[in-house]
Amino acid sequence: MHSLKDLPTEPVPGLALVAVPPRESCGDALVSNTARCLADLPPRAHVGTGSRRRISQLAPPPSGSACGDIRGNVDTRLRKLDEGEYDAIILAEAGLKRLGWSHRIAEVIPPA
């Protein structure tokens, strides 16, 4: 189960919530091979995210950047970044940590 939000809202016979792991960070993270933070993105940078919420949080995008939709699992998204399809991508900090990619985090984006 990715998240409790993925559970059905109505009880399902035979389905039980038997464990809840410790909560990880709920923040978003910038991953870039060139920028250390959002402010370092070059003008008209191409930033990838699969989340409309993250796009709206960056409106207007920093440095006149353009946010583009990115799909695939975390490894696929990191590969697309490394192949130059994006200047940066924004992913869930928790997912990067749990998958062993925390060293790729350039900046944890402040919630404000």
List active site positions.
Answer: 6
SS (H, E, C) the chain: CCCHHHCCCCCCCCCCCCCCCCCCCCCEEEEECCCCCHHHCCCCCEEEECCHHHHHHCCCCHHHCEEEECCCCHHHHHHHHHCCCCCEEEEEHHHHHHCCCHHHEEEEECCC
